[in-house]
Each structure stands twice: as structure tokens, then as C-alpha cells.
């Protein structure tokens, strides 16, 4: 009961923590989702604005390119362009032809405007004041044609735009750069008119570096850059290039007005830059809703729901656990025990079958027809003793492997005291240990005793080493008996030959060879380390040795 109560208290604390984490996570997710939605909407709006601006700049380039050596003093220069410029559907306020005239061409220009039916053909300043002809010493940019022609636009022709505070610098820059140039935001058509920009493109004469004039298009800022629907997530503001801390915004009716930045006003969410008329324009986006407050409210709802769910789960858990904990534990232990018992029996059957098969092969080969019964008896006892010794070693290690040097103990092979063993520490697998134990016994049992000692040094050297690294490493073993030859060494038995040349190498997946030198008998074995160690077999045996939980 105490433990159950502790678990329930722990679950309650965990539920409180998880509820808080869930509320925190939901808060962050809502902020992130709203931020992503706002950013995507801003990107779409900015790309649409840039597309509109590009279309209008392309219109100016096309219109200026359609002129070919025009007569500068004509008042209907836009007549051939009317169908083309209306095909673009760019919704301009007014398109105009501004001719670059010399002072001596002003009279002809006035006559042309009068014959075209404009109500005020007088060549005059940009603000309709009279022009002082005595001080004219440079070309004048005179507005000669407008589109569309109506009662409001016809009064604009005849104005000289050189000295205008907006159009003067714009035309000078277009002349210097030779490409369409956008003006600063200005009032179109009349004082107090809609705020917009004028895009002026120079028209070049064939074979003349000086421009013949300019084609200009005027656009309202509202539809061009600041238009946005009521369902959008943000409002748009254009940084006013005329005022360092000012911006242009559109109201609900689309009218654009200039305002100063408020120090403690709403924070700017995103800033985007668009290009139009050879200059960059900065668009600022303000979110319409308080995203942080909305995220906090949703997080509070999630937290409250989490607390209620925690209380219900703690009650249900206490009730169910009290009635089923002991039964579940007993069933789990019974199932685990039965599974382990089945696995151990299967493993034992497998290993017993393998050992019996090896012993059967040893007996059959040793007691073959025609062999000397005394020699066969000694070899059979020794081989079975070698197998018994390796099984004992494996049992002591729970069949997880045997140190290679342990196979050279006196109880395993004859003449073990006269064998000089050297090599790195290796724990070989159960399968490799059985093959190597028989191999070492065969080598030691056939060593020559009469010529085996030179002074007090051992006459047999058993050495192994590991060459390479990783999966390509190999186990190289060398057995060498000094002061012996083919004439003095006892010949290997038939079983020994099969074991040395075929059985042991094949069991380890390697190769072997044996030969005589001038002073010794040599046996060499090379096999991959992965078959000598066999980590798969060791992991399986270790899993079986673990106690049942």
C-alpha cells in the first residue's frame, strides 16, 4: 500500500509536470505556427507586390522601346501606344509623353497643343506659373500628351517639368541612367490627390545619344504596394523615403496617408524589400492580432485539461493496480521462467548432440579396422580426455568461451610442461575451443620424446598472433617442434591427418599446412578472427545465463 501510494503521488507530480510542459509546448507551438503563417502570408504578399512592380516596369520599357525617331513636337505621340499599354492591364492613373524641346521649339509646341484640342496649350512652369523665356538656355521637358484624356488630365499638358521638386530629379536621373526611374511618393493629378509614384523611361532617338523625351506612368501606392484584404493577418506600411522616421499606410478605403513612427506603437513583425524603378522600397508588416495573448489562453486551457486528466488517471490507476499488480507479476515470472527453461533445454540438447557427434567421430576414426589396439586405446582415452577438459572449462565459464592459453594445461594435452606458449590473450568461442583442444592434443601426442630436449629449453614452441584490424583481422597459429625430422618423429595417425588438414581448418573457416624444415616440424593455421571469437554465439550464451526477472 505504501508503495502504491508512492506511485500514485509520483503519477500526480508527473501529471502536473506533463501538464505544465504540454501547456508550455502548446504556447510555443502556437507562437511558431502563427509566426510561420504570418511569414508565409508576408512572403506571398511581397512576391505579389514585386510581380506587380515588375509588370509596370516592363510596360515602361516596352513603351519607350516602341518609339522610333519621333517628331518631338507632336501632341498625339501616345496614339500608337494606346492599344499596347492598355493590353498590359496595369491600372495606371495617367500615362504621358514628355518631349525634350529646345527653347526655339516652344512656339511650335504651343501650336501643336492648341491644334490637338487641349484647353490650355500655353507652355508654362510645372505649377502653372508663366515661363520666363529670356532665361532659357537648355532643353526643356514639356508634357505634350496624356492618356487617358479627360477634363482632369487635359489641363496638365504644356507644363515644363524640369524644375518640379519631384519630376525634375526623377527625369534627370532617368536621363543619366538611361533606364526607367521611379519618383518619390507624390500627389497625383492635383494637390490633395491620391498618393502615388511616377515611373519615367527615357526614349532614345536612332543615332542620337540625347533622349527625344520620356514616357511616364503614374500609379497609386494603395493598389500598387499597400493593398491588402480585411481577412489578412497583417497591415502593410511603406517606409517614406522623404521622411527618415515616417511611413505611408492605407486606410480602410484605400486612401494612403503619411504618418510618423510611434515610439511605443505596435512592433514591426517583418520587413521586406522590393525593387521598382531602379530603387529599393521597404515594406513593413504589422500583425493585426496579439499572437502572444492568444497563445497564452490556449496554453491555459491545455494545462487545465491536463490537470483534470491527471486526477482521473491517478484514481483509475490506484484502483486497477491494487487488484491486478500481484497477479500480473506472478504471470510475468511464470512466463519468463518457462521461456528460459525451454531455451536452456534446447541449447543443452544442441550442445549434447554436437559433443556426442564429435565423440562418435573420434571413436570411429581411432578404432578403425587394422589399428594397433594399445595405441588406439591411448589415443582414444587422450582425445576423449581432451574433449572432457574443454567441456569442463566451458562449463566453468557458462559456455561463454575459454582463454586460449587454458587449452595448453597439463590435464588437457601430453608434454604440456615442455611447450613454450606465447601470444596475446584471446577468449575463443565454445565451437573453436573444441576444435583447437583436439588439434593441440594431436600435435602434442605425436611429438618425438627421444630427441625433444636441447639442454633445459623446451623443444616445442606454440605461438599465435592477430594480424589486421576490424572485420578483416586474422588469427595466425604456429606449432614448431625443434630437433626432429620426418625420420624421427612419430607419423600422424589417420584421424590426426584428417583433423590437422581438414576438420580443424574447416571448423574455423581457415587454412592449414604442415611441413618439415632442416631442424623442426611445423604446423601453421590461419583463420578469421570472427570465427575464432564468434561474438554471436557468446551473446546468445550470455543471454541464456542471465537470471529470470
402-403 and 427-428: which strand pairing? antiparallel
Q: What are phi and psi of 204, to 5 degrees?
A: -95, 145
Provide mean pLDDT across the span 213-225: 89
Give the pLDDT confidence score for residue 222 in this predicted structure: 85
Q: What is the pLDDT of residues 375-398, one digit of tens each?
A: 667 777 777 777 777 777 777 777
422 vs 352, higher pLDDT = 422
Instruction: List CB contacts of 210: < 8 A, sequence separation 6 or more.
Output: 100, 139
Longest dimension (CA), the chain: 146
pLDDT value at residue 445: 79
pLDDT digits (tens, 9 = 90+) for 510-533: 999 999 988 888 999 999 988 888
| Angle at the Cα of 390 from the Cα atoms of 387 and 393, rounded to 5 degrees | 150
What pLDDT shows up at residue 453?
42
Region 157-164 average pLDDT: 89
The owner of cell 582415452 is 381
| Grid coordinates given for 436 | 583447437
Region 97-117: mean pLDDT is 88
Tell me the per-residue pLDDT of 5-49, one tens digit each, with 9 for 90 and over.
777 777 778 878 888 888 888 888 888 888 888 888 888 889 999
DSSP tag of 478: E
Among 87-96, 174-183, 190-199, which is the least confidently predicted range? 87-96
Tell which residue, 494, 403, 488, has the closest CA to residue 442: 494
Please give the pLDDT value at position 455.
41
Percent of the chain with pLDDT over 90: 15
pLDDT value at residue 168 = 92
Contact in structure between 431 and 534 (CB atoms under 8 Å): yes
pLDDT grade for 218, boundaries at 50, 70 and 90: very high
With contact defined as beta carbons under 8 Å apart, do 426 and 466 qualify?
yes
pLDDT in tens, 338-379: 877 776 677 666 666 666 666 766 676 666 645 567 666 777
pLDDT attached to residue 546:
60
How do residues 296-315 score in pLDDT, each as one tens digit?
888 888 888 888 888 887 77
Angle 392-398-404 from CA coordinates, rounded to 5°:
60
* pLDDT tier, 456 (very low <50, low <70, confident <90, very high otherwise): very low
Q: Give me the chain's average pLDDT, please.
A: 80
pLDDT of residue 452: 44
In angstroms, the Cα distances linking 172 to 167, 350, 356 are: 8, 99, 107
- pLDDT at position 55 over 80: yes
Is pLDDT above 70 for 125? yes
Its pTM stands at 0.52
Q: Look at residue 451 in the predicted model and tell me its pLDDT.
A: 46
Please name each of the domains of the chain with its CATH number: 1-351 (3.30.450.350), 367-545 (3.30.565)
Comparing CA positions, the residue from 147, 225, 216 lying closest to residue 180 is 216
Q: Give mean pLDDT, residues 208-219.
A: 85
Amino acid at each position: 500500500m505504501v508503495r502504491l501510494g508512492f506511485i500514485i503521488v509520483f503519477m500526480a507530480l508527473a501529471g502536473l509536470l506533463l501538464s505544465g510542459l504540454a501547456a508550455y509546448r502548446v504556447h510555443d507551438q502556437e507562437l511558431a505556427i502563427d509566426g510561420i503563417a504570418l511569414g508565409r502570408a508576408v512572403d506571398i504578399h511581397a512576391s505579389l507586390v514585386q510581380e506587380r512592380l515588375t509588370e509596370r516596369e516592363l510596360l515602361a520599357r516596352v513603351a519607350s522601346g516602341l518609339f522610333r525617331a519621333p517628331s518631338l513636337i507632336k501632341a498625339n505621340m501616345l496614339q500608337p501606344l494606346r492599344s499596347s499599354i492598355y493590353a498590359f492591364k496595369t491600372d495606371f492613373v495617367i500615362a504621358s509623353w514628355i518631349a525634350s524641346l529646345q527653347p526655339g521649339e516652344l512656339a511650335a509646341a504651343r501650336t501643336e497643343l492648341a491644334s490637338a484640342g487641349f484647353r490650355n496649350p500655353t507652355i508654362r512652369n510645372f505649377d502653372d506659373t508663366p515661363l520666363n523665356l529670356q532665361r532659357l538656355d537648355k532643353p526643356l521637358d514639356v508634357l505634350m500628351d496624356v492618356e487617358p484624356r479627360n477634363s482632369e488630365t487635359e489641363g496638365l499638358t504644356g507644363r515644363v517639368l524640369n524644375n518640379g521638386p519631384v519630376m525634375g530629379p526623377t527625369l534627370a536621373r532617368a536621363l543619366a541612367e538611361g533606364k526607367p526611374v521611379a519618383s518619390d511618393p507624390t500627389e497625383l493629378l492635383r494637390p490633395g490627390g491620391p498618393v502615388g509614384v511616377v515611373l519615367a523611361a527615357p526614349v532614345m532617338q536612332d543615332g542620337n545619344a540625347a533622349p527625344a523625351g520620356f514616357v511616364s506612368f503614374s500609379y497609386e501606392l494603395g493598389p500598387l504596394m499597400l493593398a491588402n484584404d480585411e481577412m489578412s493577418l497583417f497591415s502593410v506600411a511603406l517606409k517614406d523615403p522623404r521622411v527618415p522616421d515616417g511611413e505611408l499606410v492605407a486606410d480602410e478605403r484605400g486612401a494612403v496617408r503619411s504618418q510618423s513612427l510611434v515610439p511605443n506603437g505596435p512592433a514591426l513583425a517583418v520587413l521586406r524589400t522590393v525593387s521598382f524603378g531602379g530603387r529599393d522600397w521597404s515594406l513593413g508588416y504589422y500583425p493585426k492580432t496579439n499572437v502572444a495573448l492568444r497563445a497564452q489562453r490556449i496554453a491555459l486551457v491545455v494545462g487545465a485539461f491536463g490537470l483534470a486528466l491527471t486526477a482521473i488517471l491517478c484514481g483509475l490507476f490506484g484502483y486497477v493496480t491494487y487488484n491486478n499488480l500481484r497477479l500480473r507479476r506472478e504471470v510475468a515470472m511464470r512466463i519468463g521462467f518457462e521461456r528460459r527453461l525451454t531455451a536452456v533445454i534446447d541449447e543443452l540438447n544442441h550442445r549434447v548432440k554436437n559433443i556426442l557427434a564429435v565423440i562418435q567421430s573420434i571413436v570411429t576414426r581411432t578404432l578403425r579396422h587394422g589399428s594397433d589396439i594399445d595405441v588406439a586405446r591411448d589415443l582414444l582415452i587422450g582425445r576423449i580426455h581432451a574433449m572432457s577438459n574443454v567441456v569442463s572449462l566451458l562449463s566453468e565459464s557458462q559456455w561463454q568461451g575459454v582463454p586460449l592459453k587454458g587449452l595448453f594445461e597439463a590435464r588437457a594435452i601430453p608434454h604440456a610442461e615442455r611447450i613454450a606458449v606465447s601470444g596475446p590473450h584471446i577468449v575463443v568461442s565454445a565451437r573453436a575451443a573444441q576444435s583447437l583442444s583436439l588439434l593441440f592434443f594431436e600435435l602434442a601426442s605425436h611429438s618425438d620424446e627421444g630427441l625433444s630436449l636441447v639442454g633445459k629449453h623446451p623443444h616445442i614452441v606454440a605461438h599465435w598472433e592477430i594480424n589486421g584490424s576490424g572485420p578483416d583481422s586474422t588469427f595466425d597459429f604456429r606449432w614448431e617442434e625443434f630437433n626432429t625430422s620426418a625420420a624421427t618423429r612419430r607419423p600422424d595417425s589417420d584421424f590426426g591427418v584428417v583433423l590437422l588438414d581438414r576438420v580443424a581448418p574447416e571448423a574455423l573457416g581457415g587454412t592449414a599446412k604442415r611441413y618439415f624444415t632442416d631442424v623442426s616440424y611445423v604446423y601453421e593455421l590461419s583463420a578469421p578472427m570472427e570465427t575464432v571469437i564468434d561474438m554471436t554465439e557468446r551473446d546468445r550464451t550470455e543471454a541464456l545465463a542471465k537470471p529470470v526477472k
